[in-house]
Amino acid sequence: MMNRFPLGETGIQVPALSFGAASLGSVYHPVSQDEANAAVEAALGCGLDYFDVAPYYGLTTAEAALGKALSGVRRESYHLATKVGRYGDKDWDFSADATRRSVEASLKRLGVDVIDVIQCHDIECGDRRQLVAECLPALRRLREEGVVRFIGITGYELDVIETVAIAEKVDTVMTYCTYTLQDRRLAPVARRLAAAGIGVLNASPLGMGLLTNRGAPDWHPGNERVIELANAAARLCRAAGGDISDLAMRFALSTAHESDIATTVVGTANAGNVRANAARVGHAPDPQLMKAVEAVLEPVMNAGWDVLPGNGGKAGR
């Protein structure tokens, strides 16, 4: 059975591992609807019943694919989270009109009447005043209308996320690449947010490809030293007969709850990968290999990167 934890004070019990649907939008490689259907079916079969998506992923194609994959599935058997505000690599709009239009379009693509968690997407890169003055009030009105149930924010800059989350009393926060083998800055922030009743979701525990045998993609915003030492850690794992991705997943999944992180969101469009990730829940990483990898990564532990406009917008989740 998949371990489950409360998502803040929403009343939603989320699985330790949740399904990130960005890959369904063919953002990394082409994904057919049959492949999307199989991945979603595998997720539900493994107890991964919290799905996170956004209009930005595949420029609406991820939402459409997820909606088709969930068609016919009992609505009460899963929770659905999507986003507003980001519509392209450098396209943010937190106006009230755009927010309402975005939610209405997402409902149609997803084939549902209600969105469980609606999130303002990558808030540090948009107009903060517009976010507070227009977007969040518009979402609260939609909540009163029964169109959305809970309101959250997402992003990378933890100081921005925490400040806005507390001041605006949002229900959830999702951040990415900040609770991994190489970067654990989310832990103390998550504890403070949880103490305020806010549910915390950790996305991209592999650091957007950083902690994989393939290594960081060309567009990765990490500095050269971070990438160099992550590659060295991957080589160490291979030499020991292990896999850095497996180690990174086991670390994030086995320790997240200690830091009041409700769930870890991982994206894949491959049904086999879904099952493999689910099988890692409840299994801690090898302690000796962890110690060796941490020694390699120590010089860049908790080293982040700039995701503000100017980096091409590639870092956003």
Q: Residues 63-104: pLDDT tens digits?
A: 999 999 999 999 999 999 999 999 999 999 999 999 999 999
By mean pLDDT, which of 22-31, 138-147, 160-169, 290-299 is the weakest? 22-31
Q: What does R_g of the chain's alpha carbons equal in angstroms?
A: 18
Model pLDDT for residues 123-134, shown as the tens digit of each residue: 999 999 999 999
Helix (H, G, I), strand (E, B) or coil at 86: strand
Distances in whole angstroms, Cα of residue 224 to Cα of each of 89, 169, 180, 229, 315: 23, 38, 18, 9, 16
- Whether the CB-CB separation of 317 and 154 falls below 8 Å is answered with yes
C-alpha to C-alpha distance for 139 and 81, rounded to whole angstroms = 14
- Whether the CB-CB separation of 204 and 278 falls below 8 Å is answered with no
Task: Kindly tell me if the per-residue pLDDT of 312 is higher than 70.
Answer: no
DSSP β-ladder status, 115-120 and 91-92: unpaired
Task: Kindly tell me if the per-residue pLDDT of 142 is higher than 70.
Answer: yes
Model pLDDT for residues 250-288, shown as the tens digit of each residue: 999 999 999 999 999 999 999 999 999 999 999 999 999
Task: Kindly tell me if the per-residue pLDDT of 183 is higher than 70.
Answer: yes
User: Among 50, 56, 57, 176, which one carries the catalytic annotation?
Assistant: 57
57 is catalytic: yes
Model pLDDT for residues 143-154, shown as the tens digit of each residue: 999 999 999 999
The answer to pTM > 0.85 is yes
C-alpha to C-alpha distance for 86 and 120, rounded to whole angstroms = 8
Helix (H, G, I), strand (E, B) or coil at 183: coil
